[in-house]
Copies of this chain bind each other. A is one copy, B any other.
């Protein structure tokens, strides 16, 4: 029997994991989806230190789940992705990578709604590493904490505002640059008249592709 897709929330904020459960519920088909919290993770991954801090614990978790058919690292910085891939014997997906690749199938130039200004240079380096920077229209920050963005009232209005700015930059598809904003996806798409990609959903869909292809 095929094992579950294990979706790891690398921060220790259980509300984010719960949000993932909800966002990914519909994808439980033929194969289970386990959403787990990395207990060693910081409350939010908001700095380069946070990104690096979780790499080894993520790899340990990956190693311990020999039952998994695939893994998803559910943080937009794709922390520990290279190491988890070197560790696992099954496919591992990062949500930034999957979100961007999925956006490339939905529009010509993509825009990213980042949580914080500070992460944008890190993301740009990553897009160059991916070799897809010619398709970027722009990346703009909400300037909220991960926790705020997951709970806050004003989040949707801010998403609409920044989304419009990205459309002016030339984006015809948008990516939510965070694991915890899936509940805004459909409404934002309706409001902006452009596809909006939730990166965790994109990664789980790719994981399904790798698992159901038997």
Contact = CB atoms under 8 A, between A and B. Distances in A.
B210 A208 contact: no
Interface of A: 23, 26-27, 29-30, 47-49, 51-53, 55-56, 59, 80, 82-83, 85-87, 91, 93-94, 97-98, 101-102, 104-106, 108-109, 121-122, 124-126, 128-135, 172, 182, 185-186, 195, 198, 201-202, 204-206, 208-210, 212-214
Given A52-B52, A86-B47, A27 B132 contact: no
B91 A195 contact: yes
A213 B209 CA distance: 15
Contact of A87 (B49, B98, B122, B204): B49
Nearest to A93: B105
A52 B214 contact: no
Contacts of A212: 26-27, 29, 201, 205
Contacts of A131: 104, 128, 131-132, 134-135
Q: How many copies are assembled?
A: 6
B27 A208 contact: yes
B104 A91 contact: no
Contacts of A105: 91, 93-94, 97-98, 101, 206
A47 B128 CA distance: 23
B26 A172 contact: no
A191 to B, nearest CB: 16
Contact of A129 (B49, B91, B129, B204): B129
Nearest to A84: B48
